[in-house]
Structure 1
Amino acid sequence: MSSSDIFIGEVIGTAVLILLGGGVCAAVTFKKSKAFEAGWVAIALGWGFAVMTAAYISGPVSGAHLNPAVTVGIAIKDDDWSDVPLYFLGQILGAMIGAVLVWIAYYGQFLAHLTDREVVGGPGAQDLKAVEAQEKGAGPVLGVFSTGPEIRNTWQNLATEIIATIVLVLAILTQGLSDNGKGLGVIGALITAFVVVSIGLSLGGPTGYAINPVRDLGPRIVHALLPLPNKGGSDWSYAWIPVAGPLIGGAIAGGIYQLAFA
């Protein structure tokens, strides 16, 4: 495949991934959404279907990596790093575009949520303290864009992202091994989607399972840039964990593949 195919395919595919994945987070978060409080199962299923849709769209063009951790794992598996920077560039740009599209699709809900006194509080002194805390940490809509831990423990949070990403990337790398390495074709995207749902249900509780550096970083940058009233902080002190964890996990998965399956 050509360089332009890789770049365009990853931009489009990752944009669709974040549009649908961020979209389900928005649907569950906003009180003015018909899916308000649909719960964690809806989010896990939504992200799984988002992966499936994005993979089917971009697979014929770029191979549908859609995730730097997957790209790193495949590079280690194939011992070929030549296209890695191009994949990374397309993925981060696509993730940012997808996050902007979520904002457009839920524009009215964002405004209603961020001007709701039950969400952002009133003008009292205690409310000002809450606003100051939001500015330093995660604002009230950051969860639509990026992940965050339920318990802030650096090593646990990092380990959770590493473990979950190893499962994802290893599942992708080993597809088709029982078929003499021919791969699973269109079925592969469906299987990967089910793996993502499984990870969300089983390992998503502690950190929200980024398992993809650009899935978290791209939308977090957009959150920081968008003109959202009362949006609070983008929680940059945590932002390195959903980037480093998946990259480490992808590399470990590639190493496991070389040791056990190559």
Structure 2
Amino acid sequence: MSSSDIFIGETIGTAILILLGGGVCAAVTLKASKARNAGWVAIIFGWAFAVLTAAYTTGPISGAHLNPAVTVGIAIKDGDWDNVPVYFAGQILGAMIGAVLVWITYYGQFQAHLTDREIVGGPGAQDTKSVEAQEAEAGPVLGIFSTGPEIRNAVQNLATEIIGTFVLVIAILTQGLNDSGKGLGPLGALITALVVAGIGLSLGGPTGYAINPVRDLGPRIVHALLPLPNKGGSDWGYAWVPVVGPLIGGAIAAGLYNVAFA
């Protein structure tokens, strides 16, 4: 596959992934959404179906990595790093596009939610805090765009993301690659979606299971840039965890694969 195929495929696929995955978070979270308060299980299966849809859509074009941790894992497995920057570029762009599409889809709900006094407080509520404090805290809709820990402990949070991503990448490497070894085959896409659901059910509670650097970073950047009223901070102090953790987890999975399965 050419570099242009990889870039286009990863951009489209990751945009679909974030549109549907972020979309279910918005559906469950936002005021005036018909799915509000549908709960954690709805979010888990929304993300699993997002992976399934994106993988089947763009697998023939780029291999549907859709995740830098997967790209790194396959590169370590194969020893081929030539197209890794192209994969990364398409993935981060696609993640940002997907986040913007979630905002457009739920525009009225975002406005209603972020102007509700029960949610954001009365007039001037944000003014009682310093700019630095507002930027540091997670805003009321940040969870639609990116992940955050239930208990803020950097070591535990990092370990959780490493472990979850390890499970994802080792499953892809051992079961989910197509004949070329560059991406997901038809059965592999289904297996991976089920693995993502399993990770969410079993390991997602502590951090919200980013298990994908661009799934977290791209939408977090969009959250910081969008003109959302009373949106609060983007929690940049935590942002390194869902980037570094998945990359480490993917690398460990590939190392184990080369030792135990190759």
Q: Same fold (TM over 0.5)?
A: yes
Q: For residue 52 of structure 1, what is the aligned residue in structure 2? A: 52
For residues 243 and 184 of structure 1, the distance between their equivalents in structure 2, rounded to whole angstroms, comes to 22
The 5-angstrom pairing of residues 68-83 of structure 1 reads: 68-83=68-83
Alignment map for 1:1-262 (pairs within 5 Å)? 1-123=1-123, 128-129=128-129, 133-175=133-175, 185-262=185-262
**In structure 2, distance between residues paired with 1:59 and 1:18:** 16
The runs of 5 or more residues in structure 2 that have no matched partner are none
> AA paired with 1:230?
N
**Using a 3 Å threshold, how does the CA distance of structure 1 residues 124 and 68 change in structure 2: closer, same or farther?**
closer
Q: Deviations over 1:87-125 (max 9, x none)?
A: 000000000000000000000000000000011001377
Query: Is 2:176–2:191's contact at 8 Å kept on the other side of the alignment?
Result: no
The aligned amino acid for 1:119 is I
User: 2: CA distance between counterparts of 1:113 and 1:130?
Assistant: 23
Partners in 1 of 2:130 and 2:48 — Cα distance?
A: 34
Checking the alignment, whether the CA contact within 8 Å between 2:126 and 2:230 is kept in structure 1 is no
SS of the residue aligned with 1:151?
A: coil
Q: How many residues align?
A: 259
The 2-side partners of 1:92 and 1:61 are apart by: 17
Does structure 1 retain, via aligned residues, the 8 Å contact 2:126–2:134?
Answer: no
**2:63 & 2:132 partners in 1: Cα distance?**
44
Q: 1:176 to 1:24 in 2, by over 3 A?
A: closer
* Equivalent residues of 2:148, 2:238 under 8 A apart: yes
- C-alpha distance in structure 2 between counterparts of 1:107 and 1:124, whole Å: 23
Aligned 8 A contact 2:137 2:232 in 1: yes
- Structure 2 Cα separation of the partners of residues 226 and 123 of structure 1: 21
Q: In structure 2, how many angstroms separate the alpha carbons of the residues matched to 1:154 and 1:184?
A: 32
Residue 201 of structure 1 aligns to a residue whose secondary structure is helix
C-alpha deviation, 1:136, in angstroms: 2.1
Contact preservation (8 Å) 2:24, 2:47 = yes
TM-score normalised by length of structure 2: 0.95
CA distance in 2, matches of 1:169, 1:176: 9
* Separation (CA, whole Å) in 1 of partners of 2:126 and 2:221: 29
Contact residue 55 and residue 184 of structure 2 kept, 8 A? no
Query: What's the % identity of the aligned pairs?
Result: 83
Superposition deviation, residue 185 in structure 1 = 3.0
Whether the 8 Å contact between 2:65 and 2:184 is mirrored in structure 1 is no
In structure 1, the gaps of 5 or more residues are: none
Instruction: For 2:91, give the aligned amino acid.
Output: Q
